[in-house]
């Protein structure tokens, strides 16, 4: 199939490349000329394991192309995937659909035969209806279908999630479009993934509801961790016991910092906004947002207690600053609130991050180091913020020169008994 992917951000680049890898002709388009030139040279703007190799392979084989000519790509394609950003409007917390509708207008101007227009961007209920209304104002009134096909890609595992997904959700009322979408995903469906068809509005809501539920699980176990700390219980054991119940499951039951990233914070807020639009009070989701917003301050207070309220002039090292391992994504990472708050109290911050130095952390008293040992050697406190694999077997006494250093393990990577045995001043979450 001939596919046009509009937007070469995380979703668009991964999806377009994977579609090409399963045998389709794909043109990924973007208005950012520099990005397009880099992509055509095999330079990838994001960190995602395996993606660079896949892009280069499909470029070489001619199945994947990058272009800034949006109109031409639309006219040449049978399927058009909208993969542009839907950021939050700060005043209302509603999803900003400006870029989606700009794309819809561009598609309207270039409809030359039957096409399927697919929203892969995370969009609120009724977005497909609004796209359809835009497209109705063209001279080819019956030659298109608007479909919702939400993505469920986890950063760091995106390629696997695309190729072997839990499910493929397609929302449409058109039998013709459904047949074509099923055919598109056939190589993936054959790998025992579930293909689930529903209404367009249903598919739109499934994405938001899924993210809100996962955010709820994270927030819930974080609150249970607070109780565990005060009642001398290990939250890891509680999570295991809960997860053995098939109705609950073990995933997303790991206590730690506030959830972050490009999806959960944005999508929970947008879902509440959608609720307001339909005059429905989503009180549970509101509570999740409120609890998560308070999480960072709670952990900052814990850091102060660990340091006996003596933060000024202390050397604090962060191991990992991204919101999760396997990605260079800093969006809504709790480190972006923690680190500035600690510098305001007079702390010197050092950090090591496997994906490199971060432009978001350019400030006085914030220093990036190329390796763990240099980042930790003068540390009074080592904070494990992101659970990268290389942080799981550290010899803390060898990487720091300070005698009375402390370790705050926000991801519970280490055994409390082993740390005690090794006489390390160790603190964790919910234990």
Q: List, in sequence order, the alpha helices (H) in 244-385.
A: 264-277, 283-306, 335-344, 372-376
Token readout for 212 is: 């809100």
From 4, 18, 83, 263, the catalytic residue: 263
- How far is residue 177's CA from residue 80's CA, in Å, rounded to a whole number? 12
At 349, which helix (H) or strand (E)?
Answer: strand 348-352
| DSSP of 97-166 | -HHHHHHHHHHHHT--S-EEEEE-S---TTHHHHHHHHHTTSS-TTSEEEEE----PPTTSHHHHHHS-S
Task: Please answer whether residues 27 and 68 qualify as being in contact, where contact means their C-beta atoms are separated by less than 8 angstroms.
Answer: no
d(CA 282, CA 273): 9
Sheet holding 167-171, edge to edge: 64-67, 25-29, 2-6, 79-82, 115-119, 144-148, 167-171, 194-198
Task: Report the alpha-carbon distance of residue 106 to residue 214 in Å, rounded.
Answer: 35
Tokens of 315: 């050397």
Residue 263 appears among annotated catalytic residues: yes
Catalytic residues: 263
């Amino acid at each position: 199939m001939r596919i046009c992917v509009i937007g070469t951000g995380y979703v668009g680049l991964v999806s377009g490349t994977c579609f090409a890898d399963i045998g389709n002709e794909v043109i990924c388009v973007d208005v950012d000329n520099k990005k397009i030139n880099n992509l055509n040279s095999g330079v990838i703007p994001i960190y995602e394991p395996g993606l660079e190799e896949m892009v280069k392979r499909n470029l070489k084989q001619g199945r994947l192309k990058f272009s800034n000519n949006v109109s031409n790509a639309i006219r040449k394609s049978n399927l058009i995937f909208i993969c542009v950003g839907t950021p939050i409007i700060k005043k209302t917390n509603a999803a900003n659909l400006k870029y989606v509708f700009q794309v819809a207008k561009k598609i309207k101007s270039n409809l030359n035969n039957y096409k399927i227009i697919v929203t892969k961007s995370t969009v609120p209920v009724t977005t497909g209806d609004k796209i359809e209304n835009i497209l109705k104002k063209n001279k080819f009134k019956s030659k298109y279908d608007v479909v919702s096909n939400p993505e469920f890609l986890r950063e760091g595992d995106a390629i696997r999630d695309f190729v072997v997904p839990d499910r493929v959700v397609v929302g449409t009322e058109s039998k013709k479009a459904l047949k074509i979408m099923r055919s598109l995903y056939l190589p993936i469906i054959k790998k025992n993934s579930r293909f689930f068809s529903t209404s367009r509005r249903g598919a739109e809501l499934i994405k938001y509801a899924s993210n809100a539920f996962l955010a709820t699980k994270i927030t819930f176990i974080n609150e249970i961790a607070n109780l565990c700390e005060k009642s001398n219980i290990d939250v890891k054991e509680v999570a295991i016991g809960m997860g053995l119940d098939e109705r609950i499951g073990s995933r997303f039951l790991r206590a730690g910092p506030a959830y972050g990233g490009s999806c959960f914070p944005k999508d929970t807020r947008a879902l509440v906004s959608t609720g307001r639009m339909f005059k429905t009070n989503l009180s549970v989701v509101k509570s999740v947002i409120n609890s998560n917003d308070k999480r960072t301050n709670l952990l900052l207070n814990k850091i102060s207690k660990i340091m006996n309220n003596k933060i000024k002039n202390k050397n604090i090292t962060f191991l990992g600053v991204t919101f999760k391992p396997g990605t260079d994504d800093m969006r809504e990472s709790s480190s972006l609130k923690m680190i500035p708050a600690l510098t305001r109290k007079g702390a010197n911050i050092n950090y090591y991050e496997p994906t490199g130095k971060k432009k978001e952390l350019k400030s006085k008293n914030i220093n990036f180091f190329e390796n763990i040992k240099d980042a930790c050697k003068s540390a009074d406190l080592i904070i494990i913020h992101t659970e990268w694999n290389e942080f799981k077997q550290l010899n803390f006494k060898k990487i720091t020169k300070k005698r009375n250093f402390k370790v705050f393990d926000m991801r519970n990577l280490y055994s409390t008994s082993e740390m005690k045995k090794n006489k390390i001043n160790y603190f964790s979450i919910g234990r």
